[in-house]
């Protein structure tokens, strides 16, 4: 790296819808034991999108928050990639709507990505490569979802909504991306066919051969590549399908609770799918200090993992973190729903020609 | 397709609250106007696009209980006249709130939301609504 500037995160922004439902309320309807569910998956509440929110609106709010923090001219953003498994259209890219809504230029690289819960981090890798090769000055990657769990399915306790935008560039970097790598395999742990409203999961595949194999492999490859141990990091954040998996992955690798607690949001907002790890990273950037090192690993069913080794720079002190709502602020503005209102919001109750 | 193309032409204004500012008297208009109604001829060629901040104050509001069937999921909904900090007033929905919490004079910020959609196979229309600060 002789003289070359290292690329990294130059701004970030998140958006979590303010509605929440508790597992007690879902369990009451389906006759399940709330305490055993809460202990089993460690989710205390999950976010629910308003009837007029979708991945495009969530992405726009996250992107606007990232732009506000840096007071960035959106026309300088040369690429936009949006990862989600709940894009509003089957054909008509979310990135077209978002680029227009935040005022990006006509000259723009853009596409929508899908890789279950890691499509947003795949976008980060993509725009980093484009910045490193001087194809663009800034690039934005967004991970956002309004995920679905079939009524009565265990996923209904976790599937939530939210998103995070990361802007990657080379100037005034607040968090350098020292390295990124991925692992990929053909694993049938979770899928949704075209036109089907709810996903399905291969019970036997969700834990060991999917989440843990890919998350731990990518993590170990990163530690090996960097010649580091968990003790070298101040923070660790993983994909969070529930509150238990990331905790177990962190402990297996040798991370302490003090390292992973600040990025662990699923207990309060549920699994935001493509937004999950990126929103955890956003919560860490809200509080990180210069020199802090962050270990970040996403996971997408199907399956694969993206790992990032990140160092926070001195620039974070000049950066206007309070130019947009922090994760902590968004966790404090909450409106509770019962299952009936939740069903109406999530369109589980069908209204003939409802506009949403 | 008439409805689709009309909405598309207005999208930049609805998406980003882009109005016009008169280069002669500095008044701001939303929706955009080709000629300033104060300066008339003096404003010709001086009307420039201007992106509004989306910050404003509730001037007046009404709670709508008799909703058209496409809005039944949002019943009752709140329609307000919001005076934007840059001057113009506009009519928009106030969302994520109970009607009892809305008051004249309260501060609001613009958010990006779904406005309508043409059935389950048609185009989805997005635009501004407001939330309480
Ligand atoms: Zn004028």
Pairwise CB contact (< 8 Å): B113 & A353: no
Q: Return the domain boundaries, chain B.
A: 53-132
Residues from chain A that touch B9, judged by Cβ atoms under 8 A, are none
Closest by Cα among B51, B98, B70 to A52: B70
> Which SS3 state, helix, strand or coil, does residue A17 take?
coil
> For residues A326 and A66, what is the distance between their CA atoms, to the nearest angstrom?
11
Closest by Cα among A82, A58, A76 to A141: A82
> Which SS3 state, helix, strand or coil, does residue A304 take?
strand
User: How confident is the model at residue A1, as a pLDDT?
Assistant: 44
Question: To the nearest whole angstrom, how far is the Cα of A174 from the nearest Cα of chain B?
Answer: 26
Q: Which residues pair with A111 in a beta bridge?
A: A81
The correct CATH number of B53-132 out of 1.10.357.10, 3.30.70.1050, 3.40.50.880, 2.40.50.840 is: 2.40.50.840
Closest by Cα among A266, A308, A300 to A283: A266
Q: Return the domain boundaries, chain A.
A: 8-345
Which helix (H) or strand (E) element contains residue B12?
A: helix B2-16
> For residues A120 and A63, what is the distance between their CA atoms, to the nearest angstrom?
13
Q: Check A25, A85, A156, A176 and give the catalytic one.
A: A85
Indicate the CATH number for domain A8-345.
3.40.47.10
CA of A68 to the centre of ligand 1 (A): 30
CA of B34 to the centre of ligand 1 (A): 11
Question: To the nearest whole angstrom, how far is the Cα of A194 from the nearest Cα of chain B?
Answer: 15
CA of B87 to the centre of ligand 1 (A): 13
Interface probe, candidates B93, B99, B112, B123, chain A, greatest A C-beta count within 10 A: B112
Residue B132, chain A, CB below 8 Å: the answer is: no
Residues from chain A that touch B124, judged by Cβ atoms under 8 A, are 54, 56, 88-89
Using an 8 Å Cβ cutoff, are B126 and B115 in contact?
yes
Question: To the nearest whole angstrom, how far is the Cα of A53 from the nearest Cα of chain B?
Answer: 6
pLDDT in tens, A176-229: 999 999 999 999 888 888 888 888 887 666 788 899 999 999 999 999 999 999
- pLDDT tens digits for chain A (356 residues)? 444 678 999 999 999 999 999 999 999 999 999 999 998 999 999 999 999 999 999 999 999 999 999 999 999 999 999 999 999 999 999 999 999 999 999 999 999 999 999 999 999 999 999 999 999 999 999 999 999 888 888 899 999 999 999 999 999 999 999 999 999 999 988 888 888 888 888 766 678 889 999 999 999 999 999 999 999 999 999 999 999 999 999 999 999 999 999 999 999 999 999 999 999 999 999 999 999 999 999 999 999 999 999 999 999 999 999 999 999 999 998 999 999 999 998 887 776 655 55
Structure ipTM over 0.90, yes or no: yes
Q: Which two tokens stand for residue B7?
A: 């909405």
């Amino acid at each position: 790296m002789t003289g070359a500037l290292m690329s990294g995160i130059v701004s970030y922004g998140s958006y979590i819808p303010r509605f929440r439902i508790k597992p007690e309320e879902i369990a009451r309807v389906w006759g399940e034991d709330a305490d055993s569910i809460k202990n089993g998956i460690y989710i205390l509440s999950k976010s629910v999108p308003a009837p007029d929110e979708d991945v495009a609106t969530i992405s726009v709010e996250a992107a606007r928050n990232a732009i506000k923090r840096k007071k960035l001219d959106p026309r300088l953003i040369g690429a936009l990639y949006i990862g989600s498994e709940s894009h509003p259209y089957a054909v008509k890219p979310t990135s077209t709507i978002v680029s227009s809504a935040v005022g990006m230029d006509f000259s723009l690289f853009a596409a929508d990505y899908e890789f279950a819960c890691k499509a947003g981090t795949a976008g980060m890798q993509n725009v980093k490569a484009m910045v490193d090769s001087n194809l663009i000055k800034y690039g934005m990657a967004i991970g956002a979802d309004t995920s679905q769990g079939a009524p009565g399915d265990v996923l209904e306790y976790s599937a939530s909504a939210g998103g995070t935008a990361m802007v990657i560039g080379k100037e005034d970097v607040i968090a350098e991306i020292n390295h990124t790598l991925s692992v990929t395999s053909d694993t049938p742990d979770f899928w949704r066919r075209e036109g089907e409203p709810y996903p399905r999961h291969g019970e036997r595949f969700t834990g060991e051969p999917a989440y843990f194999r890919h998350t731990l492999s990518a993590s170990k490859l990163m530690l090996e590549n960097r010649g580091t141990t968990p003790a070298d990091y101040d923070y660790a954040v993983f994909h969070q399908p529930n509150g238990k998996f990331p905790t177990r992955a962190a402990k297996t690798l040798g991370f302490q609770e003090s390292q992973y607690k600040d990025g662990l949001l699923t207990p309060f907002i549920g699994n935001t799918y493509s937004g999950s790890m990126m929103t955890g990273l956003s919560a860490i950037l809200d509080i990180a200090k210069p020199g802090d090192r962050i270990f970040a690993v996403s996971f997408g069913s199907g399956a694969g993992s993206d790992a990032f080794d990140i160092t926070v720079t001195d620039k974070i002190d000049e950066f206007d973190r309070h130019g947009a709502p922090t994760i902590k602020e968004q966790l404090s503005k909450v409106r509770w729903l019962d299952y009936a209102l939740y069903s109406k919001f999530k369109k589980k109750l069908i209204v003939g020609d409802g506009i949403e | 397709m008439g409805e689709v193309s009309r909405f598309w032409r207005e999208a930049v204004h609805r998406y980003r609250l882009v109005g016009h500012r008169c280069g002669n008297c500095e008044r701001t208009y939303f929706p955009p106007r080709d000629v300033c109604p104060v300066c008339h001829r003096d404003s010709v060629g001086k009307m420039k696009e201007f992106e509004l901040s989306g910050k404003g104050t509730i001037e007046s509001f009404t709670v709508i209980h008799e909703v058209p069937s496409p809005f039944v999921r949002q019943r009752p909904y709140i329609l307000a006249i919001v005076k934007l900090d840059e001057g113009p007033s506009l009519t928009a929905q106030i969302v994520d709130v109970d009607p009892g919490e809305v008051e004249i004079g309260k501060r609001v910020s613009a958010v990006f939301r779904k406005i309508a959609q043409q059935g389950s196979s048609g185009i989805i229309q997005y635009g501004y609504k407001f939330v309480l600060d």
